Structure 1
C-alpha cells in the first residue's frame, strides 16, 4: 500500500515528461510547417502559438494601366481574377494599392500596383499538393547604379546578383562561372550570360580549380603578412590585364620584370583567366599571382585576390534565375517564389515615393531601387512585410510615461515641419546664400536630429502641419519621413493636426489614424462625437506610482472658418471639445489629487486662440514678427483651460512668432489668480515660410519639474543649435511666475 503512491507519482511524472516532450516537438513541427495543426484540430481548440504565421500569403504582383477616362471604375487598373499565379484559385484575390504610381503626371493613364493574396485557410483546404505551393518571399528592383555592372544587359538588380554570386574563393557558382573558359583559359566568343562549356572542360576545370584553390588559400595565409609589407601601391586589385605574350599590362604603371621572372620560376601555379570587375576601395588589398600553362599554349596571367570574388558578378541565364526562384515581372520589378513552408512569405506590400523615403515600421522592408518607366519626378518604391501585422500599441512598441526619480520630465515641441513627398522646396532660408541647392526636408531633419541628440526629450509633441499638403502628393511618405526620427530613437510622440496636413493625398482622419498607429505614438483620433480628429489627453505618471504627475491636453483646431462671411479667417475650438476636456479632467481628478508633488498641466494645439493677440500692456519673451492669425470668434477655450489648471499653452501656425505671453484673465484682480502663459513653438521646417526679417528656424523645449512645481522653457536655433536662447521660468510652485 505504501509503494502504490510512489509508483503512481513515478508513472505520472514519466507521462507528463513524455507529453511535454511530444508537445514541444509538435510546436516545432508546426512552426517549421512540417505539419499543419489546423488539419487535425478545430480552430477553437488551437492555442494561439499554433496559429499560422500570417492570415494570407502574397502569391503574385502586377503593375497595370488604367485609362484616366475610366479611372472612376473601381476595377480599373486591377488584373482579372484569372490572371497571375494559380489563376482563379479559391480564396485568391487581387488587391490594388490605391496610389497612382505616376502621381498624376500622366495625362492619359494612371498606373497601379496590385498584389494577389491567397488566404492560409483556402491554401490548406484546396491546394492538393501543398509541397508545390509557391508564394512571394522577396522583391528586388533595378537601380540606375546597377547598370555599371559589367555584362548586366538584362538589368538584373544587384541584390539578385549578390545572392547568386560566389560566396567564397571558389564555390559551386564560381566554378560554373569559370566553365565559361576553355582549358586554355580563353573566353568563349559568346555573350557572357550565355556561355556554355563542354562537360569535359567543366570537369577538367573543376578538378583543376579545386586543387588550385586549396594551394592558393594556403599560400595566401603564409604570405599575407609579408606581401602586405611590400609596396601597397604596386598591389592594386584588377589593374593587370594579360597580354598575349604573357607579360603584365599594368595601367598607369611600369612593368615589373622581377614579378615576371619570379612567375617563370614557379610553373606549378596554374589558373585560367578570371574575368572580373575591380571594386572601388580595394586597390590596396594584397593579391595572388595566378598563371595557366597548358603545353605549348601561350601564357595568360591575371592578378586577383581571394576576396575579389565579392565584386565579381556572374550574369545568370533566365533558367538559372528561375532555378533560384527569381522571376521578372515588369517595370524593373523582380519577385522570388519559394515554398510557403520557409516562413519568408510576404504578407503585405506598400508603395512609397521620393528619394528620401523611409519606412519606420519595424517589420517592414524598404526595397532598394525604384519602379521603371513611369512618368514621375518622384520615384515609386515598394516596402513589404513578412509575417503577421504587429500590434504597435503593445508593450513592445509603447512606453509608459513617467517622471524621473527627481520628478522631472522634458518635452520637445516640434511645430510646422512642412514636409513634402520629395525633397521639399526651401522657403526663405537663412542665410539667403544657402538657397542654392537647398533641400528643405533634408536640412530640417539635420537640425531636428541635432536637437534630439542634445536634449534627449522624454516626449515629442508635434503641433500641426507636419505635412505641407500641396507638396505631398503621397502624404504617407511625407508623414513617415517626419515621424521617423522619433520612432527610430524610440521616443514617445503625440501629434496634433494643422490646417495643411490633410491637403495632400489623405483625409484628416486618415492622417491622424496613420499617425496614431505607429510605434511609440501616443496619438489618438479621439471620440467620434467630439468635433475634429485628434482630441485626447496624455498622462505622465509619478516615478513610483501610477498617479497623474503631468496632464497634457491636445486638441484639433480645425482649418478655415465654416462661415467666412461672418467670421473670416480660421476655425475655432468647438463647445463639444471643451466639454470633452471637462469630462477628461473629472475622470483624472482623483489621480491628480493623489499625486504627492505639484501636479502640472499643459495644452498643445496648432492655431492660436484669440488671447494670443493680448500683447498690449502684457509682458512677453521672444519674437513677434507677424500678425496673429487666431480665429475671430472666441468660444472661451482659454477660460476652460484655466479652470482645469492649465498654466501653459503652446501652439504653432504662425511660423515667425515664437514668444511666450503672460496673459491675465482679469487685470483688475490684484492677486492675478488666473494667469496663463501663451507660447509659440516657432516654425521649424524649411519647407514652410520664414521671411519677416530673416527668421531662423527653431525648436522649443519645456522642462517640467513636479518636485518644484516648475516649468522652464527655452529654444534652439538652426543656426546655433548648441546654445539655448530665451531661457525662462514660466511656472514655479505650481503657479505662473510674476513677470
Structure 2
C-alpha cells in the first residue's frame, strides 16, 4: 500500500492539480484527522478511476495527498501529478494505458473532404472527423479528414504545418505564402513550424447558421462548407484550434459580502444543431404566434434573464438537447455559451433526452466535454455510482475563507426505460452516495454541535420524484399544467433527502409545471426525536422554444409562456427564497419564501396560480 509522503492543508473541492486536466481530480471524503495516514484502498481506486481519463500515467512519482484537518471543513484527498500507475495496490492491478500517442503533441499538416476512404497515407496519419457533413440527410455522404503529425518530429524534418484555414473565396496571398485549395471551398495555408501556437492543432465541425464555439482558443468559420446538400440540411462549419487550449480553472463558488448566493435554474432548453422550430409560442396577451426559429429565441430569452438577475451560478437542469438530434456537440455548445460569454459558473444534470437517439453522444462523452469548458463546475461523479453526473459542490464563505456555507447536489435521474413508456428511478447506489456524502460533510462542519451556523442544501435533478405527483401536495404557488411524469418505482430518495435536511429539490421535465409544494408533515422522526425536515419540491418550468410549452389538443390546448426559476440563498439569515422569470414580464413572478431562520416555511394557503393540483 502506498504511503503519503507529504501532507498539505488544502481546503475545498476546487484544488488545481498541476499538469492535469480537470477530469483528473479525484476527490474522496475522509474523516477529519490531524495525522498523516495510509492511502486507503477506496481512495486509491478513486484516484485510479480519475486517472483513466487522462494521458498522464506514463511518468512515475510518489503519491502526494492533501488533507484538511481544520474543523468545519470538508476533508478531501487528492493525487498530485505525476502518479505511479505501474504498480498494484492490495492485489488490484493499477490501470494503465497502452496508447503511446495519448500525450504526443500533434499538429495538422493537411485536410480534405472525401465521400469514402481517406486519402493515401503519407508521412502524416489521416484521421476522420466522425461527423458526416450532411448529418446523414443526403444520399451521398462526405467526411472531413485531417492529417496529423508529431510536432517535434515535424520540426526536426523541417516539414510543413497548416497555419491558417479559410472557407469561401480564396484569401489574398501575403509574405510569399500561397493558399492551397481543398474540396468544399476550403483553403489552407502551410508553413514551417516555429511555435506551436502558430500551428493548427485541431479541426472540428459544427452545424447550423446559429452555431457558436465558446471553447478556448477556437475560431468558428463564418462561411459554411460548400456542399451539394438539400436546403433543409444544416450548414457545416469548421472550428479551428490554434496551439494548445489552456486548461480552464474550476470556479470556486462563494457567497457575497451579505452572505447571499443566487442560482438560476434553466430547464428543458431542447437545443438542436440548427435554428429549430417553435410551434406553440404566444404573445404577451396569450395569443398564438406563427411558427418561428426556436433556438435563437431560447438564447435571447436566457441572455435577457442572465443580464437581469446576474446569478452566481446557473444550473442546467436537464434536456439541454432535443431528442434524436444528429450532432450533440453543436447543440451543447449553444446551450452553455450564454453563461461562458458572461463568465458565469454553470453546473449540468442530464435529462432523458440529452443522450437519446442513434447519433447522440453518450453521457460520459458529453460530461468529458462539459467539465473542460470555461466556468464549468460539472463533474462525472464516482464511477461506482449509477449514472453520469452525480456530484456535489460547496458554496464557501466570502473572501478567502474555506468555510462551507451551503451545499448543492446534482444527480442523474436517468431516462426512459427501453421498450417501455416509463422512466427509470434514482438507484440505490446514488442514494447511498448522497447519504454518505451528506453525512460526511455534516460531520466535518460540526453540524449538531451547537455552532449556530445555518447550512442550506439543495438538490437538482431532471425527472421529478414520485412525490411531485402526490395528490396531498400543499402547493405554495405556481401551476400544475400537466400530470407529473416520473418513475413508476419509488426508490424513496425523498426519504433520504428528508433525513439529511435538504431544503429544496429543483427539477424540470414537465414543461408546463412550475409549482413549489410541500408534502404534509409526516409522523416519522429522526434518530434524535425531531420530525423529518420536508424539502420543498419545485419545478423550474420549460425554457426552450424548441420544446412543447402547452398541454391538451385542439380547442382544449392551453399554452404557457417560457420561464426559469431563481433561487436566492442567504447564509447569514438561513433563508431560501425563490421566484420565476417569465416571458414578457419584467418583474419577479411567484416570489415565495421557502426557508427562514433555517426552518421550512409552511404555506399559508394554496396559492396556485390559475391551476389547481390535478393528478391523473
> How big is each residue's C-alpha offset from its partner over 1:669-722, in whole Å with a ceiling of 9 and x where there is no partner?
8986432210000000111101132211001000000111000000011122x2
CA contact (8 A) 1:331 1:371 kept: yes
Give the counterpart of 1:97 among 119, 129, 149.
Answer: 129
> How big is each residue's C-alpha offset from its partner over 1:102-156, in whole Å with a ceiling of 9 and x where there is no partner?
111222x32110111110232244x1xx2xx3211111111xxxxxxxxxxxxx2
Following superposition of structure 1 onto structure 2, how do residues 2-401 of structure 1 map, counting pairs within 5 Å? Answer: 55-66=105-116, 77-81=117-121, 88-89=122-123, 92-107=124-139, 109-125=140-156, 127=157, 130=158, 133-142=159-168, 156-157=169-170, 160-161=171-172, 323-341=176-194, 343-376=197-230, 377-392=233-248, 394=249, 398-401=250-253
Structure 1 regions of 5+ residues with no counterpart?
1-42, 67-76, 82-87, 143-155, 165-321
CA distance in 1, matches of 2:409, 2:377: 12
Task: Give the TM-score normalised by the residue count of structure 1.
Answer: 0.63
Is structure 2 residue 518 aligned with structure 1 residue 666? no
Equivalent residue number for residue 272 of structure 2: 420
Instruction: Count the aligned residue pairs.
Output: 484
Is structure 2 residue 550 aligned with structure 1 residue 691? yes
CA distance in 2, matches of 1:387, 1:416: 35
Task: Give the TM-score normalised by the residue count of structure 2.
Answer: 0.75
Equivalent residue number for residue 484 of structure 1: 337
SS in 1 for 2:296: helix
Is structure 2 residue 392 aligned with structure 1 residue 537? yes
Compare 403-412 and 334-343 and name the one that shifted more: 334-343
Alpha-carbon offset, residue 325 of structure 1: 2.6
Once superposed, what is the RMSD of the aligned Cα atoms?
Answer: 2.4
Is structure 2 residue 409 aligned with structure 1 residue 553? yes
Q: Does the C-alpha gap of structure 1 residues 63 and 433 become closer, same or farther in structure 2, counting only changes over 3 Å?
A: farther
CA contact (8 A) 1:603 1:646 kept: yes
Give the counterpart of 1:465 among 319, 325, 328.
Answer: 319
Q: Does the C-alpha gap of structure 1 residues 61 and 563 become closer, same or farther in structure 2, counting only changes over 3 Å?
A: closer
Equivalent residue number for residue 377 of structure 2: 522
> How big is each residue's C-alpha offset from its partner over 1:173-226, in whole Å with a ceiling of 9 and x where there is no partner?
xxxxxxxxxxxxxxxxxxxxxxxxxxxxxxxxxxxxxxxxxxxxxxxxxxxxxx
Structure with larger Rg: 1
CA contact (8 A) 1:714 1:724 kept: yes
Give the counterpart of 1:650 among 498, 506, 517.
Answer: 506
CA contact (8 A) 2:317 2:507 kept: yes
Alpha-carbon offset, residue 79 of structure 1: 1.8
Give the counterpart of 1:677 among 523, 527, 536.
Answer: 536
> How big is each residue's C-alpha offset from its partner over 1:425-469, in whole Å with a ceiling of 9 and x where there is no partner?
103111376643511111111111000000000000011000002
CA distance in 1, matches of 2:269, 2:201: 33
Structure 2 regions of 5+ residues with no counterpart?
1-58, 61-81, 83-102, 552-557, 604-616
CA contact (8 A) 1:325 1:338 kept: no
CA contact (8 A) 1:101 1:374 kept: no
CA distance in 2, matches of 1:658, 1:57: 50
Q: Does the C-alpha gap of structure 1 residues 339 and 563 become closer, same or farther in structure 2, counting only changes over 3 Å?
A: closer
Compare 353-362 and 538-547 and name the one that shifted more: 538-547
Equivalent residue number for residue 622 of structure 1: 478
CA distance in 2, matches of 1:561, 1:475: 21
Alpha-carbon offset, residue 563 of structure 1: 8.0
Equivalent residue number for residue 303 of structure 2: 449
Alpha-carbon offset, residue 731 of structure 1: 0.4
Equivalent residue number for residue 263 of structure 1: none
CA distance in 2, matches of 1:327, 1:668: 75
SS in 2 for 1:593: coil
SS in 1 for 2:348: strand
CA contact (8 A) 1:423 1:439 kept: yes
CA contact (8 A) 2:406 2:456 kept: yes
CA distance in 1, matches of 2:308, 2:262: 12
Following superposition of structure 1 onto structure 2, how do residues 429-440 of structure 1 map, counting pairs within 5 Å? Answer: 429-431=281-283, 435-436=289-290, 438-440=292-294
CA distance in 2, matches of 1:442, 1:617: 37
Is structure 2 residue 257 aligned with structure 1 residue 405? yes
Give the counterpart of 2:349 among 496, 502, 511.
Answer: 496
SS in 2 for 1:502: coil
Alpha-carbon offset, residue 99 of structure 1: 0.3
SS in 2 for 1:719: coil
CA distance in 2, matches of 1:441, 1:617: 34
CA distance in 1, matches of 2:189, 2:290: 43
> How big is each residue's C-alpha offset from its partner over 1:370-428, in whole Å with a ceiling of 9 and x where there is no partner?
11123252110001111123212x3xxx3211111111100000000011111011031
CA distance in 1, matches of 2:475, 2:288: 35
Equivalent residue number for residue 184 of structure 1: none
> How big is each residue's C-alpha offset from its partner over 1:535-593, in whole Å with a ceiling of 9 and x where there is no partner?
111111112421211101111110123684xxx62110000000111221233224433
SS in 1 for 2:375: coil
Give the counterpart of 1:705 among 567, 570, 591.
Answer: 570
CA contact (8 A) 2:499 2:532 kept: no
SS in 1 for 2:246: coil
Following superposition of structure 1 onto structure 2, how do residues 568-647 of structure 1 map, counting pairs within 5 Å? Answer: 569-593=422-446, 597-616=453-472, 618-647=474-503
CA contact (8 A) 1:605 1:651 kept: yes
CA contact (8 A) 1:350 1:383 kept: yes
Equivalent residue number for residue 38 of structure 1: none
SS in 2 for 1:723: coil
Equivalent residue number for residue 209 of structure 1: none
CA contact (8 A) 1:606 1:653 kept: yes
